[in-house]
Amino acid sequence: MLNLKDVHVHIGKLHILQGVNLQVKPGECAALLGRNGVGKTTTLRAIMGLARRSGGTVEFEGFDLASCEPHEIPRRGVGYVPQGRGIFPNLTVLENLCIGLPGRRDLEREEYVFGCFPRLEERLKQSGGTLSGGEQQMLALARCLMMRPKLIILDEPTEGIMPRLVSQIRREIHRINQAGVSILLVEQNVETALKLCPRVFLMEKGAIVYNGTAHELKSKPEIVRRYLGLSKQ
């Protein structure tokens, strides 16, 4: 479904992505893990057309995303929840939710999304900036769901969020995946990632250095230690 082949990104003189190969199959839930600064966010931005590629291809359902403008990519079925959430603080919850949608409100979809995140329905007229961090994360995910994505790309959705909301967000990601939406998740919390994602990619210095199942990885603590460090276990 999503296929990155030998993707390179240069920023200025820095060679940030040095040939990333990564695949997400239909219905799969995959994690992309690695230490700070190895290029996880840049990989996601390269998929979404937000970081300019200097080599390689990104295909989604056999279609080369390089021929799309960045704003067309969500319409093709790829949703993106960026690191830091990207909520518009001065718009209301409802306005934030509907921002990517053309024309009329999609009430049927809103009902589904509020079923996932009832807290948001209680706060429709509240401005985005006054939501808690966890609520903003839910709103970012809800906004992405409004576009009926086939694949959702999430960049550290539980960063800096209190444990009670973390488990709710984790549960919703699992439910969304169970409903048939593929997931590519960047996550600092290795335990969360391995619980949620049967497929794991490990990244180091701008390239994928390990691709295997979470099950395999659990029996290889030396690999986890080498690429993720003890502090993240």
Ligand X SMILES: Nc1ncnc2c1ncn2[C@@H]1O[C@H](COP(=O)(O)OP(=O)(O)OP(=O)(O)O)[C@@H](O)[C@H]1O
- Least Å from the CB of residue 67 to ligand X: 24
Query: Does 36 contact ligand X by CB under 6 A?
Result: yes
Query: Does 42 contact Mg ion by CB under 5 A?
Result: no
Query: Does 41 contact Mg ion by CB under 5 A?
Result: yes
Of these, 26, 37, 89, 115, which contacts ligand X (CB under 6 A)? 37
Using the rule CB under 6 A, give the single segment among 8-16, 67-75, 101-109, 217-225 that binds ligand X: 8-16
When CB distances to Mg ion are compared, the closest residue is 41
Tokens of 194: 């391995």
Of these, 4, 22, 24, 38, which contacts ligand X (CB under 6 A)? 38
Residue among 50, 33, 30, 32 nearest 42 (CA)? 50
Confirm if 114 and 82 have CB atoms less than 8 A apart: no
Of these, 2, 20, 34, 47, which contacts ligand X (CB under 6 A)? 34
SS3 152: strand
CA distance linking residue 76 with residue 68, whole number of Å? 9
CB-nearer residue toward Mg ion: 43 or 177: 43
Bridge partner residues of 55 (DSSP): 8
Query: Does 31 contact ligand X by CB under 6 A?
Result: no
Query: Does 74 contact ligand X by CB under 6 A?
Result: no
Confirm if 83 and 155 have CB atoms less than 8 A apart: yes
Query: Does 158 contact Mg ion by CB under 5 A?
Result: no
Residue among 36, 8, 34, 38 nearest 21 (CA)? 8
CB-nearer residue toward ligand X: 6 or 121: 6
Query: Does 136 contact Mg ion by CB under 5 A?
Result: no
Decide which of Mg ion, ligand X, none touches 36; Cβ closer than 5 to 8 Å per partner kind.
ligand X
- Least Å from the CB of residue 20 to ligand X: 11
Distances (CA, A) of 40 to 99, 163, 186, 195: 26, 23, 7, 19
- Least Å from the CB of residue 184 to ligand X: 13
Give, as ranges, the residues between 71 and 100 that touch Mg ion (CB under 5 A): 83
Three-state SS for 67-95 is HCCHHHCHHHCEEEECCCCCCCCCCEHHH
Residue among 153, 138, 185, 202 nearest 49 (CA)? 153
Beta-carbon contacts of residue 115 (< 8 Å; ≥ 6 apart)? none
Query: Does 11 contact ligand X by CB under 6 A?
Result: yes
For Mg ion, the binding residues (CB under 5 A) are: 40-41, 83
For ligand X, the binding residues (CB under 6 A) are: 11, 14, 16, 34, 36-42, 83
